[in-house]
């Protein structure tokens, strides 16, 4: 048997045995046995002396190659044993992944705030600014400057909480429009929305609340038209209630606008065919609007021969009631968390 | 405004269904509040009571044999007034009366009954309109088998318009007819008025001493016979919601409905003069009105006098002394226009608002004052056998000519955004029966006096747009170069709201009005309250100073519904004599956050709430927040667990546990809260970010434990350390507070982690040592604190 054959035999032997190795200790022992001092390779190397000089390099190379093959086998087995150990360890760490995670509180935005922010963002996108003003107002800004002199029959439309004869809780956010027009000095265009709390002398019931929330919009410029108002209302209705909705305008009356309109949105439940929700009309009233009355423009310092504008005003509760099918306006102010927490 | 559709159809051609008419009203004129049949009943006939005997088994029922033309029915009737020979209203078997009341054959106490003899109540006519007890007895000439609803003129539909204050013109049948004629483009059939006068001269002199009376027309009618009004007239009044009384009063009301002009009839024999003088009331003058009440008048009221004393409160109510009664023979008829605002004030003050006063308030057509006077005179003649004396006595100061309003087509187009043609504008004006002259693209419109609401070109634009139809107008968006933005303050408000929501708090919105007692609570500055002059209910009569009381109510409400873990915040205003003050408030109770199976449970307590605020301050970039004890102890906050919060020398608000006795009184568990001044919060916030370079050199951390007097606050210790550490000390963090074994009593140990950083170089150990000893020196000198050994 020559050297090559002997080495192949050793490799065969190692390959057979290494398959059954299951621990690092066994592997070390086996490694010592085949690659250590008293290994078969040691014995082979001791034969070196008796080999003619010219054969020595080939002999040495053959032995080293055999050793390398075996060392490689040991390395492979070591890596796989290590991997196995890690796998076992990890399997022992297995948890029930279906148990609940650590709880983090999530709060909720009030539905009125949420709706206001939604409408604000829509109008900001169309170039409007948001204006605010005091809730305790003068009769002058709340009524007189809006073409509602003292004793005007239309004052009956807004029953008022008075504090003194001249101060009151604002009945709409329109005084903010008056203040803004006065601020701009009558010679600049205006594009604003005015959100805020308003108050009416109503008894609280399913559909009435002595306090509620309004957003009004005012656009004043040289070329503002009813068509612009109609377009804005359509965008608003579709954004708040869905792209498939339509709107229509009906004549109405507000002292601060002329013409004045009530705005209906097509009923979402029946799509306009008529159902119990829309009282068989196919339409639901959502807000009032109109072209700013010249008397209001003039009172606020705008030349009505040059400037014209539109205004619209909506009750946020009404919008939310229609959007989320809420049946009692008082729910907005009770703050039952089972209600509030539904709106994030 | 309620009205009879049958009446309207007499005045204007209506070639469409009621549904279509209603839809046209809604889209072009005035909103329809509702519409219905006047009487919702079927299978009714006129019957003739042939016999009527008492029911043997009853003390009040009658057994009647009733001829209903096709047959004779046996009907049991319980009405006390039923009698043999009467013509009555019979509901046959199968009839359905209002309230879904079905008439079936039945046996009543052993006797068969096939139908029902009806009262007007049973037809759904409100009792106030007829005040009849028992069945309604028809006139003897009623034809057996006919439809009694036709006879009674109840075969009608009632429409109710929800009128806006400007459309006073629609408070008359004539006005409605004009608008319907424009809406439907159909013709009007208004009748002409013909008064038959006798050759006796009206002796009355009319004058006015006040400009609050715009016009006054008076006629005298004699030989009047007071009776009931005919069915048709009564039915039209009932349809309009007016109670029929007698022919004279009914005629005045009927003509008011027809023309819009309120009328008043005096008993001329009781007037005791031939003179009508209108004037302002004298101070403390009194009049006994028709309802028997003595009214004390003010100088702002208008009275009608007989030259000596008031006989009527103008436009509001007649006087008792000249009231029409069953023996009235001579009538003085008044058709006048009074200043609306005065009538409104007087009627509001005396709580006497009526059909008349509401018409004066909204305005009248000056051209109908005389017309109404004559129309009523005509009816007194035909329906009350009256003889009308010749001539009308009057006083007139109003302009009776149409108002001219100019409108150009350009203006119409520039306001509406729709390209109307001259032809369309002209056709709308024709439909409205507005005379006009046209000059190229300009219209001069002669607005009839009946449309006193149309005064400006804007009003005319509305008329054209509504009659031509709003659907013509396209939808566009106004383009402008103004950018739309939230202001910094508005953005900060949203950051505050979003941060508090993300920290697990639920936003509330509560009422601004509360009781006088609750209103000033949690206002530690003690401002005075703002009160309503006439609240609806006392517990909503005063403006709140703080949001906490209302939020506490919300918290109680939720706890009572088994929700014991409540985390609330609100952004809203407090209102005091000092002004409106926006607040950010919070209330927490119970478990703030838990994961039960992992044993994690965080209860709401002082430091949890403080931590929430610190997170809020971080999100707003607010530094240098200082806490100090409350300025004074109150029964609202726990004295040891509450603090004022300051930033940059301004009082930001407070944080604390609510006072245990307050909580006990309300039956509540521990509640923690805060209330911050929104403006101070936002003004202290620095929304603009200045980027700072990330340090290139490592930082050094040193831990120290310092023993100081237990009364010295952590805040004081930190401030001393920060001052001494200067800007190299970039962070100080407390990681332990200890009192007890190994620490002298009355002292405490605070362990801190100090982080040092130099942006220009790596700090050497010697440099850090120097800084630490400087800090320890300052702590020793200023606070008598020592390094814990």
Q: Where does the pLDDT of residue A133 fall: very low under 50, low under 70, confident under 90, or very high at 90 and above?
A: very high
Rounded Cα–Cα distance for residues A341 and B567 (Å):
11
pLDDT at A277: 84
Query: Which of B671, B640, B642 shows the shortest CA–CA distance to B548?
Result: B671
Taking only residues 563 to 582 of chain B, the set having a beta carbon closer than 8 angstroms to any beta carbon of chain A reads: 563, 566-569, 571-573, 575, 580
Question: Does position B129 have pLDDT exceeding 90, yes or no?
Answer: yes
To the nearest whole Å, the CA of B505 is away from the closest chain A CA by 4
A-B Cβ pairs (cutoff 8 Å, strict): 245
Contacts with B195 (C-beta within 8 Å, 6 or more apart), sequence order? B374, B377, B378, B381, B388
Between A52 and B622, the more confident residue is: B622
Query: Which residues, numbered 24 to 83 in chain A, qualify as contacts with chain B under a Cβ-Cβ cut-off of 8 Å?
Result: none
Q: Does A157 touch chain B (CB under 8 A)?
A: yes
For residue A253, give the nearest of B165, B341, B416 by CB distance: B165
State residue B191's pLDDT score. Answer: 86
Q: How far apart are CA B83 and CA B75, in angstroms?
A: 13
Pick from B476, B482, B598: which is nearest to A191 by CB?
B482
**Cα dihedral across residues B449, B450, B455, B460: positive or negative:** negative
Q: With an 8 Å Cβ cutoff, are B166 and A227 in contact?
A: no
Please say whether the beta carbons of B5 and B156 come within 8 A.
Answer: yes
Which H or E run includes A296?
A: helix A294-299
Mean pLDDT of B59-67: 92
Residues B50, B71: contact at Cβ < 8 Å? no
Given a cut of 90, is residue A274 above it in pLDDT?
no
The alpha-carbon gap from B560 to the nearest alpha carbon of chain A, in Å, equals 11
Name the closest residue on chain A to residue B24, using Cα atoms. A250
Q: How far apart are the first and last CA of chain A?
A: 86
pLDDT number for residue B86: 94
Q: Which long-range contacts (CB under 8 A, 24 or more apart) does B224-231 make?
A: B224/B248, B224/B328, B224/B329, B224/B330, B224/B331, B224/B380, B224/B384, B224/B385, B224/B386, B225/B384, B225/B385, B225/B386, B226/B324, B226/B325, B226/B326, B226/B327, B226/B328, B226/B384, B227/B384, B229/B383, B230/B383, B231/B151, B231/B152, B231/B153
Residue B30: partners with Cβ closer than 8 Å, 6 or more residues away: A251, B161, B162, B163, B164, B167, B170, B179
CA–CA gap between residue B113 and residue B90 (Å, rounded): 12
Q: Which two tokens stand for residue B116?
A: 């029902």
Q: What is the pLDDT of residue B542?
A: 97
pLDDT band at A31 (very low <50, low <70, confident <90, very high): confident
How many Å apart are CA A240 and CA B63, to the nearest integer?
66
> What stretches of A159-274 show up as alpha helix (H) in DSSP?
174-184, 226-241
- A5: confidence class by pLDDT, cuts 50, 70, 90: confident
Confidence class of residue A183 from pLDDT cuts 50, 70 and 90? Answer: very high
For residue A215, pLDDT over 90 is answered with yes
- Residues of B within 8 A of A340 (CB-CB) are 506-508
As a whole number of angstroms, the distance between CA A194 and CA A233 comes to 16
* Helices and strands per DSSP (H, E), number in chain B: 21, 44
According to the model, what pLDDT value does residue B16 have?
Answer: 96
Distance in angstroms (rounded) separating the CA atoms of residues A215 and A177: 11
Q: Give A-chain residues touching B595 at CB under 8 angstroms.
A: 100-103
Set of chain A residues whose Cβ sits within 8 Å of the Cβ of B341: 151
B600 pLDDT higher than 90: no
Q: Which residue of A has its CA nearest to B572?
A: A197
pLDDT tier at B519, thresholds 50, 70, 90: very high
Mutate to test the interface with B, among A259, A281, A334 (most CBs of B within 10 A): A259
Quick one: pLDDT at residue A60?
83
Contact A249 B473 (CB under 8 A): yes
Cα distance between residue B634 and residue B520, in whole Å: 13
- Contact list, A151 vs chain B (CB under 8 Å): 341, 344-345
Tens digits of residue pLDDT in B196-239 = 999 999 999 999 999 999 999 999 999 999 999 999 999 999 99
Q: What is the pLDDT of residue A273?
A: 86
Q: How far apart are CA B162 and CA B516, in angstroms?
A: 38
Burial of B246 (0-12, 13-18, 19+ CB in 10 A): middle
- Cα A329 from chain centroid? 26
Q: What's the CA gap between B348 and B326, in Å, rounded?
A: 31
Q: Which of B315, B349, B428, B507 is the best mutation test for A, with the most CBs of A within 10 A?
A: B507
pLDDT at residue A70 in the model: 87
The nearest alpha carbon in chain B to A293 belongs to B458
Instruction: Give me B159's structure tokens.
Output: 């429409």
Return the sign of the alpha-carbon dihedral for residues B270, B272, B274, B279: negative
CB A189 within 8 A of CB B482: yes
Strands B566-576 and B506-507: parallel
Residues B406-434: b if buried by 16+ CB within 10 A, e if exposed: ebebebbeebbbbebeeebbeebbebbeb
Q: Is A154 on the interface with B (CB under 8 A)?
A: yes
| Percent of chain B whose pLDDT exceeds 90 | 91
- Reported confidence tier of residue A204, pLDDT bands at 50, 70, 90: very high
C-beta of residue A218 within 8 angstroms of C-beta of residue A300: no
Whether residues B475 and A197 touch (CB distance < 8 A) is answered with no
CA dihedral B757, B762, B766, B771 (to 10 degrees): -20
List alpha helices for B541-640, DSSP H: 548-560, 606-619
CB < 8 Å from B in window 107-146 of A: 107-110, 112-113, 117, 120, 123-130, 132, 134-136
Reported as type and span, the H/E element at residue B267 is strand B263-267
* Residue from the list A130, A151, A210 with its beta carbon closest to the beta carbon of B536: A210
- The set of residues, in sequence order, having a beta carbon less than 8 Å from that of B252 and lying 6+ positions away, is B263, B264, B265, B333, B376
Which residues 318-337 on chain A approach chain B with CB closer than 8 angstroms? 332-337
Minimal CA–CA distance to B608: which of B622, B620, B590, B621?
B590
B254-287 confidence digits (pLDDT tens): 999 999 999 999 999 999 999 999 999 999 899 9
Chain B residue numbers touching A154 (CB-CB < 8 A): 164-166
How many angstroms away from the CA of B642 is the closest CA of chain A? 25
pLDDT score for A52: 84
**pLDDT (0 to 100) of residue B3:** 97
Reported as a pLDDT band with limits 50, 70 and 90, residue B390 is: very high
Between the CA of residue A291 and those of A184, A231, B90, B123, B135, what are the distances in Å? 19, 14, 56, 47, 56
Using the Cβ of A343 and the Cβ atoms of chain B, whether some distance falls under 8 Å is answered with no
CB contact at 8 A, B24 and B192: no
pLDDT at B781 over 80: yes
The verdict on B519 touching A (C-beta cutoff 8 Å) is: no
Model-wide pTM > 0.90: no
Å between B378 CA and nearest CA of chain A: 33
Query: What pLDDT digit, counting tens, does each position of B326-379 carry?
Result: 999 999 999 999 999 999 999 999 999 899 999 999 999 999 999 999 999 999
In B8-27, the residues whose Cβ lies within 8 Å of chain A are 26-27
pLDDT at residue B481, as a whole number = 73
Check whether A278 has a pLDDT greater than 90: no
Question: What does the pLDDT look like over A89-128, one tens digit per residue?
Answer: 999 999 999 999 988 889 999 999 999 999 999 999 999 9
Q: Which residues of B touch A260 (CB under 8 A)?
A: 164, 462
Distance CA B190, CA B192 (A): 7
Q: From the list A163, A334, A336, which residue is nearest B533 (CB)?
A: A163
Give this complex's ipTM: 0.90
Q: Looking at residue B423, what is its pLDDT? A: 96
User: Quick one: closest CA in B to A333, which residue?
Assistant: B510
Other Cβ atoms closer than 10 A to B192: 6
């Amino acid at each position: 048997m020559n050297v090559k054959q002997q080495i192949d035999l050793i490799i065969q032997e190692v390959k057979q045995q290494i398959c059954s190795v299951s621990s690092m200790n066994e592997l070390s022992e086996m490694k010592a046995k085949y690659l250590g001092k008293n290994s078969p390779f040691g014995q082979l190397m001791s034969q070196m002396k008796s080999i003619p000089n010219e054969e020595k390099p080939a002999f040495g190379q053959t032995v080293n190659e055999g050793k390398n093959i075996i060392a490689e086998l040991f390395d492979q087995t070591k890596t796989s044993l290590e991997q196995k150990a890690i796998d076992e360890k990890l399997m022992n760490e297995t948890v029930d992944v279906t148990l609940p995670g650590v709880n983090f509180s999530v709060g909720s935005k009030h539905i009125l705030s949420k709706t206001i922010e939604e409408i604000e963002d829509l109008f900001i996108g169309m170039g409007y600014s948001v204006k605010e003003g005091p809730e305790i107002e003068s009769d002058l800004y709340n009524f007189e400057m809006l073409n509602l002199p003292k004793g005007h029959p239309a004052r009956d439309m807004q029953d008022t909480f008075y504090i003194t004869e001249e101060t009151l809780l604002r009945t709409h956010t329109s005084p903010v429009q008056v203040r803004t027009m006065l601020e701009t000095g009558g010679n600049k265009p205006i594009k604003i929305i005015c959100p805020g709390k308003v108050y009416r002398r109503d008894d609280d019931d399913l559909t009435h609340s002595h306090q509620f929330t309004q957003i009004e919009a005012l656009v004043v410029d040289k070329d503002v038209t009813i068509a612009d108002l109609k377009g804005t209302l359509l965008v608003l209705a579709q954004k708040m209630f869905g792209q498939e909705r339509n709107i229509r305008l009906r004549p109405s009356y507000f002292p601060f606008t002329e013409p004045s309109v009530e705005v209906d949105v097509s009923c979402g439940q029946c799509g306009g065919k008529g159902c119990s929700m829309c009282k068989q009309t196919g339409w639901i009233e959502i807000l009032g609007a109109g072209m700013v009355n010249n008397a209001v423009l003039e009172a606020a310092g705008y030349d009505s021969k040059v400037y014209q504008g539109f205004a619209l005003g909506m009750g946020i509760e009404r919008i939310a009631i229609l959007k989320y099918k809420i049946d009692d306006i008082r729910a907005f102010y009770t703050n039952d968390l089972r209600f509030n927490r539904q709106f994030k | 405004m309620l009205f009879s559709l049958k009446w309207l159809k007499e005045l204007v051609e209506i070639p469409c269904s009621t549904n279509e008419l209603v839809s046209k009203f809604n889209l072009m004129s005035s909103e329809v509040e509702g519409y219905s049949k006047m009487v919702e009943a079927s299978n009714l006939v006129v019957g003739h009571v042939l016999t009527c005997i008492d029911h043997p088994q009853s003390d009040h029922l009658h057994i009647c044999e009733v001829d209903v033309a096709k047959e004779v029915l046996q009907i049991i009737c319980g009405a006390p007034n039923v009698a043999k020979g009467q013509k009555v209203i019979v509901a046959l078997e199968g009839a359905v009366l209002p309230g879904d009341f079905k008439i079936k054959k039945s046996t009543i106490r052993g006797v068969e009954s096939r139908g029902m003899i009806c009262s007007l109540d049973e037809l759904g006519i409100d009792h106030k309109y007829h005040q009849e007890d028992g069945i309604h007895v028809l006139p003897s000439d009623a034809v057996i088998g006919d439809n009694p609803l036709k006879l009674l003129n109840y075969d009608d539909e009632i429409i109710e318009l929800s009128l806006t204050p400007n459309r006073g013109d629609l408070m008359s049948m004539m006005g409605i007819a004009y608008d319907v004629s424009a809406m439907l483009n159909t013709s009007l059939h208004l009748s002409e008025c013909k008064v038959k006068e006798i050759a006796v001269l009206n002796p009355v002199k009319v004058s006015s001493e006040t400009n609050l009376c715009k016009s006054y027309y008076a006629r005298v009618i004699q030989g009047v016979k007071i009776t009931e009004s005919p069915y048709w007239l009564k039915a039209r009044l009932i349809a309009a919601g007016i109670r029929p009384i007698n022919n004279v009063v009914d005629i005045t009301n009927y003509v008011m409905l027809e023309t819009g002009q309120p009328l008043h009839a005096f008993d001329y024999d009781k007037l005791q003069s031939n003179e009508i003088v209108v004037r302002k009331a004298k101070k403390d003058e009194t009049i006994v009105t028709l309802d028997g009440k003595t009214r004390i008048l003010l100088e702002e009221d208008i009275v009608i006098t007989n030259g000596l004393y008031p006989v009527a409160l103008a436009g509001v109510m007649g006087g008792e002394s000249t009231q029409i009664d069953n023996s009235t023979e001579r009538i003085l008829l008044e058709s006048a226009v009074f200043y609306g605002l005065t009538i409104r004030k007087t009627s509001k003050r005396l709580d006497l608002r009526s059909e008349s006063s509401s018409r004066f308030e909204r305005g009248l057509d000056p051209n109908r004052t005389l017309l109404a006077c004559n129309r009523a005179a005509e009816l007194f003649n035909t329906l009350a056998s009256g003889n009308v004396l010749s001539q009308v006595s009057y006083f007139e100061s109003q302009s009776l000519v149409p108002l001219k309003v100019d409108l150009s087509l350009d203006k119409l187009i520039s306001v509406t955004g729709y390209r109307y043609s001259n032809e369309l504008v002209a056709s709308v004006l024709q439909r409205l029966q507005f005379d006009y002259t046209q000059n190229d693209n300009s219209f001069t419109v002669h607005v009839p006096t009946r449309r006193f609401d149309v005064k400006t070109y804007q009003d005319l634009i509305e008329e054209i747009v509504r009659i031509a139809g709003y659907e013509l107008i396209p939808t566009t968006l106004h383009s402008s170069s103004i950018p739309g933005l939230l202001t910094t303050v508005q953005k900060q408000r949203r950051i505050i709201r979003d941060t508090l929501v993300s920290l697990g708090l639920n936003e509330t919105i509560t009422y601004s009005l509360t009781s006088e007692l609750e209103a000033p609570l949690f206002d530690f500055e003690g401002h005075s309250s703002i009160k309503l002059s006439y609240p609806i209910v006392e517990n909503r009569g005063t403006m709140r100073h703080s949001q906490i009381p209302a939020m506490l109510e919300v918290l109680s409400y939720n706890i009572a519904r088994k929700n014991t873990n409540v985390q609330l915040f609100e952004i809203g205003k407090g209102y005091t004599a000092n002004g409106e003050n926006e607040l950010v408030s919070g209330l927490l109770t119970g478990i703030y956050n838990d994961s039960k199976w992992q044993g994690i449970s965080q209860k709401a307590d002082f430091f949890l709430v403080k931590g929430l605020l610190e997170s809020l301050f971080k999100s707003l970039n607010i530094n240098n927040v200082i806490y100090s004890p409350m300025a004074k102890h109150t029964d609202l906050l726990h004295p040891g667990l509450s603090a004022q919060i300051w930033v940059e020398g301004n009082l930001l608000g407070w944080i604390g546990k609510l006072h245990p006795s307050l909580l006990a009184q309300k039956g509540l568990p521990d509640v923690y809260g805060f209330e911050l001044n929104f403006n101070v919060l936002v003004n202290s916030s620095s929304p603009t970010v200045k980027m700072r370079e990330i340090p290139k050199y490592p930082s050094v951390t040193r831990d120290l434990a310092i023993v100081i007097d237990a009364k010295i606050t952590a805040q004081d210790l930190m401030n001393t350390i920060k001052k001494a550490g200067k800007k190299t000390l970039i962070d100080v963090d407390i990681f332990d507070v200890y009192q007890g074994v190994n620490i002298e009593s009355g002292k405490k140990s605070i362990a801190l982690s100090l982080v040092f950083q130099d942006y220009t170089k790596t700090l050497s150990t010697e440099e850090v040592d120097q800084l630490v000893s400087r800090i320890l020196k300052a702590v020793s000198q200023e606070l008598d604190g020592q390094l814990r050994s």
